[in-house]
Amino acid sequence: MISKSMSLTKSFGLGRVEKGGLVVTAILVAINGLVGSQALALGVAVGGLLVIVNFLVIRLLAGALIGKAYTKVFGIFIVLVKTFVLIAFVASLFLFTKVNIYGFFIGVTGVVIVIIGESLRGNSDGSF
């Protein structure tokens, strides 16, 4: 049991995708804050950080499922729960707050481009 929990916490660190996503999000927030509006910059920050957190959770879940810490049925269940929580969070974000939807999608797109770029670049050690 100790080795399972140690391997789960080991995979929770920031990888190249997360670091690159944070850098791109910070650059986009700075540009939108200086050139655009503060609401647009806030939307970019929320969108970028949400995608980075989602990517971290996906990587953590994939590590747990590959490491056979949980059964396949529980893995499918927890991925569905994560997806529903993400959808509910984004829906409530737009319903109950005034997050700029264009800024949100700019932030999401910036991090997705980092993910695609890292996937195309490849890795010699097999990890992100």
Neighbours of 74 (CB within 10 A): 12
Both tokens assigned to 120: 């195309």
Whether residue 127 is contained in a domain is answered as no
Whether residue 10 is contained in a domain is answered as no
> Which tens digits make up the pLDDT trace of 13-27?
778 888 889 999 999
Whether the pLDDT of residue 126 is over 90: the answer is no
Domain hosting residue 51, numbered range: 15-118
Contacts of 113 (CB under 8 A, 6+ apart): 24
Whether residue 5 is contained in a domain is answered as no
| Amino acid 5: pLDDT | 46
Whether residue 34 is contained in a domain is answered as yes
Work out how many domains the chain is built from and give that number: 1
pTM comes to: 0.77
> Which tens digits make up the pLDDT trace of 50-108?
999 998 888 888 888 888 777 888 888 988 999 999 999 999 999 999 899 999 999 99
